[in-house]
């Protein structure tokens, strides 16, 4: 096993009860006041810990809103392992629970149950990544099973405006005011015990329907930020005019296809307008879903394939990344396969298509080698940076989801 001498993160260590909740609340207060955030409560009368809290995920501000919505109730947040780098002691101290994304993890179930059994709130972000364009990401069926196992109320926190304020593809604060959140109980303990897992999951999916761009337009939220389109090419990687992939670029408020020259402007209310000719998609999520449909056709035809050189970092623990050097990334109808050599020893990371329902991606991750995919096993996390121009990690993420769904249909 590669890096066999490296210690692994101790996932078995029981989670601490939350400390310094008041300090987290106080630090969050000033940010939320700046953005004039408003939280609406619904069906929360008489709902007390323990309960399962499920939140959507668009930006770091989600955590701040959760802190205020909870009103100092002791809460343990599930956090990905990269959040623990160089500060494991601090995150453990404030009650965070470490996990690796998109792997089956019975240890995490055990940790969450520990939190519930001692009478606290367990908070999970079931989409397991920031939304790429402010709409709902894939929700795993395992969330419904977890809720059924815990047998406590299920509460959701759905935030609106965080993607518009700090989109995943361009993180600087865009100065959005009037962000909103809905904090509501969607299942009582009695309902959880009575309903089937599929019915519980249906309630959760219905509660998680959101669209930040539509929210912006319906609420007439104006974004004056002069670079609001920058980074959007990371999500909208295919031109709907000439169909070319991987040649989109942005500057200021303009999105451009460098293959055919067509340009679109993103206005202050989140709508796209072609500078000349037809506006194929004025709504950003519609363009994104069109790309998904194109990927789905490749998968259905059995032609989807990516074979590309890459760089790889490993994260076996919270000490920091280990550079594994050059490797080869293959993503095709069978799933992921990464092969490389580290200190003279060959290694292979394989995630079959039918075992991974989605994957986590990053844009310009840490300013190192560009965009990346992180693939997790039970004892390691691999950050894979494809090289060259003929790829989009967004397409890889879409293909991962479509490959999994195709395998389920079979």
pLDDT along the chain (410 residues), means of 10: 78 83 77 90 94 95 91 90 87 88 89 96 94 94 96 97 95 93 97 97 97 97 96 98 98 98 98 97 98 98 97 94 96 97 93 95 91 93 95 98 92
Q: What is the pLDDT of residue 1?
A: 59
**Per-residue tokens: 295:** 């990927």
Q: Parallel, antiparallel, or unpaired for β 372-376 and 381-386? A: antiparallel
Confirm or reject CATH 1.10.10.10 for domain 21-218, answering yes or no.
no
Length of the chain: 410
Closest CA to 167 of 64, 285, 282: 285
A 10 A CB-CB count for 199 gives 15
First-to-final CA distance of the chain: 33
C-alpha 129/C-alpha 106 separation (Å) is 20
Report the alpha-carbon angle 299-302-304, nearest 5. Answer: 60
Give the model's pLDDT for residue 93.
85
CB atoms < 10 A from the CB of 344, how many? 5
Q: CB within 8 A of 63, min separation 6: which ones?
A: 28, 77
Q: Which of 192, 183, 187 has the alpha carbon at shortest distance from 70?
A: 183
Q: Distance between CA 384 and CA 361 in Å, rounded?
A: 9
| pTM, 2 dp | 0.94
CA distance 336 to 324: 17
Place of tokens 């604060």: 173
Pick the closest to residue 159 from 80, 83, 75, 54 (CA basis): 54
DSSP H or E stretch at residue 190: helix 189-194
Strand partners, 349: 338
Q: What is the DSSP letter of 53?
A: E
266 in Cβ contact with 372 (< 8 Å): no
Residue pair 147/187 in contact by the 8 Å Cβ criterion: yes
Question: Which tokens is 245 given?
Answer: 């992939």
Residue 30 per-residue DSSP state: H
Give which of 324, 208, 330, 226 is closest to 268, Cα–Cα.
226
- At 97, list the tokens: 């629970």
CA distance 60 to 166: 9
Residue with tokens 């995630």: 351
Tokens describing residue 13 = 């260590």
Residues 6+ apart with CB under 8 A from 334: 352, 353
How do beta strands 381-386 and 254-257 pair?
A: unpaired
Structure tokens at 350: 């394989």
Q: Where are the chain's structural domains? A: 21-218, 232-299, 304-409
- State the Cα–Cα distance between residues 335 and 357, nearest whole angstrom: 11
Residue appearing with tokens 């101290």? 93
pLDDT of residue 2: 72
DSSP letter (8 states) at residue 261: -
Does the bond joining 50 to the residue before it have cis omega, within 30 degrees of 0? Answer: yes
DSSP state of 356: -
**How far apart are the C-alpha atoms of 52 and 214, rounded to whole Å?**
28
Q: Which CATH class is domain 304-409?
A: mainly beta
Are 351 and 78 in contact by the 8 Å Cβ rule? The answer is: no
């Amino acid at each position: 096993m590669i890096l066999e001498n490296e210690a692994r993160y101790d996932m078995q260590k029981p989670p601490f009860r939350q400390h310094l909740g008041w300090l987290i609340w106080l630090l969050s207060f000033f940010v939320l006041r700046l953005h004039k955030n408003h939280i609406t409560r619904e069906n929360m009368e008489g709902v007390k810990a323990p309960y399962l809290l499920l939140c959507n995920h668009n930006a770091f501000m989600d955590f701040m809103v959760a802190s205020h919505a909870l009103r100092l109730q002791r809460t343990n947040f599930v956090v990905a392992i990269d959040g623990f780098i160089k500060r494991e002691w601090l995150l453990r101290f404030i009650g965070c629970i470490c996990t690796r994304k998109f792997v089956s993890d019975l240890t995490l179930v055990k940790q969450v149950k520990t939190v519930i059994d001692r009478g606290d709130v367990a908070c999970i972000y079931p989409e397991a990544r920031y939304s790429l364009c402010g709409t709902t990401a894939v929700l795993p069926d395992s969330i419904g099973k977890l809720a059924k196992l815990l047998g406590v109320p299920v509460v959701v926190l759905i935030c609106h405006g965080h993607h518009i304020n700090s989109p995943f593809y361009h993180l600087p604060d865009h100065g959005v005011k009037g962000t909103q959140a809905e904090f509501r109980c969607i299942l009582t303990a009695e309902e959880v015990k009575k309903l089937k897992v599929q019915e519980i999951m249906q309630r959760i999916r219905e509660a998680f329907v959101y669209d930040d761009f539509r929210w912006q337009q319906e609420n007439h939220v104006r974004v004056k930020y002069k670079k609001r389109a920058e980074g959007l090419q990371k999500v909208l990687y295919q031109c709907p005019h000439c169909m070319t992939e991987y040649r989109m670029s942005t500057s200021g408020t303009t999105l451009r296809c460098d293959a055919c020259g067509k340009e679109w402007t993103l206005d202050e209310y989140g709508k796209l307008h072609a500078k000349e000719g037809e506006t194929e998609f004025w709504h950003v999520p519609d363009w994104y879903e069109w790309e998904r449909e194109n990927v789905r056709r490749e998968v259905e035809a059995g032609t989807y394939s990516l074979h590309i050189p890459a760089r790889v970092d490993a994260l076996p623990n919270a000490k920091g990344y280990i550079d594994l050097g050059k490797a080869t990334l293959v993503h095709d109808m069978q799933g992921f396969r990464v092969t490389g050599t580290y200190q003279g020893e060959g290694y292979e990371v394989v995630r079959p298509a039918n075992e991974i329902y989605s994957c986590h991606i990053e844009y310009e991750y840490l300013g190192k080698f560009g965009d990346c995919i992180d693939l997790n096993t039970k004892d390691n996390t691999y950050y894979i940076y494809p090289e060259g121009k003929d790829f989009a990690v967004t397409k890889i993420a879409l293909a991962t989801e479509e490959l999994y769904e195709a395998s389920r249909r079979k």
